[in-house]
Amino acid sequence: MALATNNNGSSTFSGINVTPLVDIMLVLLVIFMVTARLIVSQTLPMDLPKAATGGEQQIIFSVSVDTAGQMTVDSRKVKDDAELFSLARSARANNVDLRAVIHADQSLSYGRVVRVMDLLKQSGIGKIAFGVTPTTPETMSH
């Protein structure tokens, strides 16, 4: 802050005009807010596991369905949907944070996979993922 003297001897206050600086900062703030919103909306929503230590293991209920529709749960054959439902319900009773992974053959009908997913949801397992074989983008076009 500086005081300047006029021709008539009176002093006037002359300072730095911060209005352009504030305008620029507000424009930058709006730009950052918009771009941050776009970046967040392009990501996939994921429910990532939380762990306080690296030694803890997450329990996963693994369901595999082959081309004939036969199911195995944690490498144990399951005869029908009712048995899958009871196994899923008892596993969910033991662990409220249980996650399920469905490994289904790609030639299996869509309805069968949805039925397995529906049984898992009815049993109380809400966190369901699908197992895939990792591949590179070049091999996906085939």
- CATH number, domain of 111, equals 3.30.420.270
User: Rounded to whole angstroms, how far apart are CA atoms 60 and 98?
Assistant: 6
In a domain, 17, yes or no: yes
Residues 61/98, Cβ–Cβ less than 8 Å: yes
Contact between 90 and 125 under an 8 Å Cβ cutoff? The reply is no
Residue 54 inside a domain? The answer is no
Q: Which pLDDT score, from 0 to 100, does residue 25 have? A: 94
Q: Are residues 65 and 130 in the same domain?
A: yes
CA distances in angstroms from 56 to 27, 49, 50, 51, 62, listed in the order given: 46, 11, 10, 7, 18
Query: Is residue 52 included in any domain, yes or no?
Result: no
Structure-model confidence comparison of residues 30 and 54, the more confident one: 30
Q: Is residue 66 part of a domain?
A: yes
Q: What token pair was written down for 49?
A: 């596991």
Query: Does some domain include residue 83?
Result: yes
pLDDT for residue 1 is more than 80? no
Percent of the chain clearing pLDDT 70 (strictly above): 71
Residue 52 banded pLDDT, cuts 50, 70, 90? low
Same domain, 115 and 81: yes
* Confidence (pLDDT) at 10: 65
Query: Does residue 67 sit in the same domain as residue 103?
Result: yes
Number of domains in the chain: 2
- Amino acid identity of residue 42, one-letter, is Q
Collect all residues with Cβ–Cβ distance below 8 Å to 69 and sequence separation of at least 6. Answer: 108, 112
Same domain, 77 and 33: no
Give the mean pLDDT of the chain.
78
Structure tokens at 137: 């983008």
Per the structure, the complete domain to which residue 80 belongs is given by 60-134
Q: Rounded to an integer, what distance in angstroms lies between the CA atom of residue 63 and that of residue 130?
A: 10
Residues 114 and 75 in one domain: yes
Same-domain pairing of 15 and 78: no
Q: What percent of the chain has pLDDT over 90?
A: 8
